[in-house]
Amino acid sequence: MLEATPLTEGWTLRHGGQVLPARVPGCVHTDLLAAGVIPDPFLGRNETEVAWVGRREWTYETELRAASGHEQTDLVFEGLDTAAEITLDGQLLGRVRNMHRSHRFHATGLRGRLAVRFASAYTEAGAVRDRLGERPAAYDEPYQYIRKMACSFGWDWGPTLVTAGIWRPVRLEHWSTARISRVRPLVTVEQGAGAVELHVEVERSRVEASLGVEARVGGRVVRAALDGSSGVVRLRVPDVRLWWPRGYGEQPLYDVELTLLHGEEVLDVWRRRIGFRTVELDRRPDAHGTGFTLVVNGERLFARGVNWIPDDVFPSRVTRERYRRRLGQAAAAGVDLVRVWGGGIYESEDFYDACDELGLLVWQDFPFACAAYPEEQPLRGEVEAEARENVVRLMPHPSLVLWNGNNENLWGFRDWDWERRLAGNSWGEGYYLGVLPRVVAELDPTRPYTAGSPWSGSWDRHPNDPAHGTHHSWEVWNREDYADYGLTVPRFVAEFGWQAPPAFATLARALSGEELAADSPGVLHHQKAADGNGKLRRGLERHFAFPEGDFDRWHYLMQVNQVRAVAAGIEHWRSHWPVCAGTVVWQLNDCWPVTSWAAIDGDGREKPLYHELKRLYADRLLTLQVRESGLVLAAANQGAEAWTGVVRLRRMSVEGGAVGEARVELGVEARTVGIVAVPRELEPAGAKEFLVADADGLRAVHFPVPDREVPYPRPEFDVTVAPGAVTVTAHTLVRDLLLQADRLQPEARADHGLVTLLPGERVTIGVRGWQTPDPAAARSALYCMEPAG
């Protein structure tokens, strides 16, 4: 039986004459941080103080002593970051240059000092660039010349912390006769029965040995002989329970086990969990252009998505529990699709296991983002090898429903002056339209592939044409007002978003000792977007008076504006289902404390946007929309049951009275959107009026003018507290009330985001982690809209 010996103990990190204890899995930065050699790069402006780390060579060493009675021993690295030379007692075992794949070396009978010497990623990338020539990119860092997590070189939300290390587990594998080298499971559903094809490959130490395999799944057992070093085992499981995305059904998972046998002797065992479901991507042309609709088990979906970046700039720190916590937050917000963005990594099994269990669909980018990538060696072979390995590694997961070739590179070639600058040099098209679709078609024909995001499906159209395929909406945020989301109906919005600073407690921890201001040195350092604060200001001034010199007010209004922007997009696009078939918010999470587009900040605190997503991504959503015909109420129903009831419409004065009222019948079939015209006499007139729609505990509010023109009354409300709760009772209109619980205590969390109260209404906000409830403190942590000036 194959035996595995983890190599986690006794590692040291060597640089010059300095020897430090090392943690494996880990990386150089975390080891230096633990040893007190460098300051925490997440705090203050320490990022710049540790830039030297990425420019040096580093060596990890340990003693290899494990003995074995087996015929063969392999040294297996699941992940090395990135360009490294591996030696054992001075004997070269091999050289590697790809963070995104595993590496295996024969080590039978070898003992002694194991050393992994990492070159600087800058040195490796520079050598490839010198050999293959310059290629354009969105950032002035050489990430396109090395198969490494691109965002470790910095992004418009991330720090530049170019690290190295043994970032995934390493072990010795001892085996005799044969071992399982690869299992490729094809899982489908045929006429209500589950069909499993296990394509098995083995490595032999004895060619003449007769081998067989036994496969088990769902109570079914099949045995088969292996002819040579490969074979196929087929099982049929009748009456399987289908795996569904969250909100559409349950997520039953089945254990599958494949045992490699020599007679009755067990040589090796492969185990995974699978789920039975079908997935299609409907890209048929129609009257509106070219669709992009996910279809799971025959059910057409409006995808309620978020973009995922690595949850830490040092991925080895992301544990199974942290994946579960962050993805659990996504599921609790109504999310049903997570896009693993192409500037990061193929995540660990823990990520996809959590998605399988939570019913979160996974859209997986191949790791290419915002750059022209050379297609020559040594990169081309590495790209194909990593794609082959990771496609097979991730195939068992039913949550994985889409492979995507790249992020924004097809768009970049067309719009970012790449074509002229490249002058005919390779740039990645051969990967996205050649290598990657070929690999997916060969190894994983059960899932769809798309060449990129955005991608219109053909060079005959603009890559980011909103009428065809996937669309990234970045003119809004970069140049336009978020009201402009309402001007188009893309077929699938794969990226859009708006920035806001992190929670107050997150900033206070990261910038301890600094007097916080919108333009203070630390706040600006933790803002990585080009002209980020300028865009924040211009975006705010379209709707609010800018609060000069008032950091607390600036912080609050930036959160409000982020919520308003994302809501403007999702409400509009959901109201146009099925023409628009999904929105994927940029972004769910952060990898450090930073002003960004995230809904959950770098310390794991939920920003108001997170709570707004709960409303926007709920099965039922009420929204008031301005159409050519006038003001309409759109009721989006993604639930499995029809939505019937009565909507109460009220034309209100900001001073508190009702100007007009009506009740309209609501009848919306399951998985559809109902549109009801608002009676003309209820449309608000001028800055002093607004419209409120209420039904089944849901509310939509429409103000006809920007907030800066609304004569809000001075808010009046009472505050009472009890253990775990703050109750606010309004005496006037209180718009966008927000309890910033982390101002009460850094560990405190509130269960509400922005809330609008009419006179006489009340809301009780749950608060966890607040040890000393106090009404005065609660009032000081409450913010809302106030009169101008």
| Residues taking part in catalysis | 408
SS3 144: helix
Which residue carries 């941080």 as its tokens? 33
* Cβ-contact 58, 84 below 8 angstroms: no
Q: Torsions phi, psi of 708, nearest 5?
A: -65, -20
Interatomic CA distance for residues 397 and 353, integer angstroms: 7
Which residue carries 């729609």 as its tokens? 693
Residues near 473 by Cβ (< 8 Å), separated by ≥ 6? Answer: 466, 485, 490, 493, 495, 496, 569
Measured on CA atoms in the order 598, 599, 602, 607, is the torsion positive or negative?
positive
Long-range CB contact pairs, 105-108, < 8 A, 24+ = 105/74, 105/75, 105/76, 106/72, 106/73, 106/74, 106/75, 107/64, 107/73, 107/74, 107/75, 107/172, 108/71, 108/72, 108/73
As a whole number of Å, the CA-based R_g of the chain is 28
* Cβ-contact 227, 179 below 8 angstroms: no
Amino acid sitting at position 331: A
Interatomic CA distance for residues 529 and 531, integer angstroms: 6
Tokens, residue 490: 């893309």
Closest by Cα among 603, 516, 611 to 555: 516
**DSSP H helical segments within 226-370, as ranges?**
320-332, 349-358
Rounded to a whole number of angstroms, the distance between the first and last alpha carbons of the chain is 77
Residue 46 Cα to chain centre, angstroms:
26
Residues near 661 by Cβ (< 8 Å), separated by ≥ 6? Answer: 648, 649, 650, 651, 682
DSSP string, 416-434: SSHHHHHTT---SHHIIII
Closest by Cα among 365, 351, 360, 366 to 398: 360
Interatomic CA distance for residues 39 and 211, integer angstroms: 55
Interatomic CA distance for residues 177 and 206, integer angstroms: 5
* Cβ-contact 495, 321 below 8 angstroms: no
Which residue carries 């794991």 as its tokens? 604
| Residue 172 CA: distances (Å) to CA of 64, 74, 106, 228, 769 | 9, 6, 10, 25, 45
* Cβ-contact 491, 289 below 8 angstroms: yes
Amino acid sitting at position 493: V
Interatomic CA distance for residues 446 and 215, integer angstroms: 20
* Cβ-contact 557, 544 below 8 angstroms: yes
